[in-house]
Amino acid sequence: MDNTVGPSEMIVHLGPQHPMMPGPFRLNAKLKGETVVDSEVEMGYIHKGIEKILENKTYLQGITIVDRICYLAALTNEEAYVGCVEKLAGIEVPERAQYIRVIMEELSRIQSHLLGMGEYASFVGFVSMFMYTIKEREDVMTLMDSVTGARVTHSFLRFGGVKDDLPEGFKEDVQRVFANLRKAIDSYEEMYRTDTIYKARTVGIGVLTAEVAKDIGVSGPPLRATGVAFDIRKAEPYLVYKDLDFKVCTQTAGDVFSRVQVRLDEMRESMYIIEQCLDQIPTGPLFQEGSVYGRRSPVMRVPAGEVFHRVEDPRGEMGFYMVSDGSDKPYRVKIRGPVYPTLQTLPPLLKGVNVADIVAIAGSMDTCTSEVDR
């Protein structure tokens, strides 16, 4: 961004600490009157060095570290990391453990969308919506806690399986929570669709085209809101997704309203996926019998090689590139998260909009600065 200020122009810095920012990053906007002329995104305020930390931890210790990339996507981060090790070591995951992983990762997707949607609504002045979504999210997190023993950073996946089985009565608990959640999502959708002020601030605002999204590398709901039906669960099925019936949720307008609608639809699909899993989950072990890898493998050496494994994070494509030198620690780890390219859409989207629309556009992206500054 050119920092030269012309007549009637000024530069406004939003962040790094600001109510509209879901994490510390800075958005510099050049304004001419009420119109955004140019902008740029500054990141790196909370860089954690997670990739280098992983290279100095054993493979098992790394599971707790990847939870901290973004706590809202802890389980999908674990899936991408554990999947790399399983590919390198040729570890087969029993079918029951795969179903449990899908159930937990879809619950994680639901709670992430609920929090992201509530935060976004508060950015545009719909503060009461945050109170609604956070209440429903607590019920979903209680379900997750009953399985993993944690509400946020779960450390639940293991190489070749999962830490624990589903507790007794879990299916009935899910049915009870989902009955209320479906009603809540319907009510959210009705409020969004019938509120004229909300629609004025979201319909046709911050339009992202499919061409720009693909050029920048955007994935997840922001991409699917442009009409591109790309979802790694369908394009490159992992776990038991190939055996499940679900659709890729898309919209075509690519605006703020569409991005929120995609997440509403995805929560319904996630519930449908979980219900299928609970109906058809087989009995059996959580780990392959006779495998050298199991629930506790504190020191394990992984065969030398390199691998890339990606999964569908709540925010898009989460991929891990891992190099093993045959020791008990990864030699190199590189993380390709979904949010870094998503944030790059802000400068082109903000150009020419009113300054009041910045928060609506940025909030609808549902970014996670913690994942960007990994």
Domain assignment of residue 145, yes or no: yes
Q: What angle do CA 114, 119, 124 make, to 5 degrees?
A: 125
Domain assignment of residue 291, yes or no: yes
Domain assignment of residue 41, yes or no: no
Own/partner long-range contacts of 43-48 (Cβ < 8 Å, ≥24 apart): 43/340, 43/343, 43/369, 43/372, 43/373, 44/373, 45/16, 45/369, 45/373, 46/369, 46/370, 46/373, 47/373, 47/374, 48/370, 48/373, 48/374
Domain assignment of residue 271, yes or no: yes
CATH number where 194 lies: 1.10.645.10
What are the pLDDT digits (tens) for 11-24? 988 878 766 555 68
The pLDDT value recorded for residue 296 is 57
* List of the chain residues with pLDDT < 50: none
Domain assignment of residue 28, yes or no: no
Residue-number span of the structural domain to which 230 is assigned: 46-331+354-372
Domain assignment of residue 8, yes or no: no
Domain assignment of residue 138, yes or no: yes
Domain assignment of residue 110, yes or no: yes
What are the pLDDT digits (tens) for 87-132? 999 999 999 999 999 999 999 999 999 998 888 888 888 888 888 8
Taking the CA atoms of 254, 255, 259 and 265 in sequence, report the sign of the dihedral they define.
negative
How far is Cα of residue 6 from the mean position of the Cα atoms in its chain?
40
* Strand duo 330-336 + 316-324: pairing: antiparallel
The pLDDT value recorded for residue 109 is 96
CB 139 within 8 A of CB 181: yes
Contacts of 68 (CB under 8 A, 6+ apart): 48, 50, 153, 370
Instruction: Give the DSSP H or E segment for 348.
Output: helix 346-350
Report how many domains make up the chain: 1
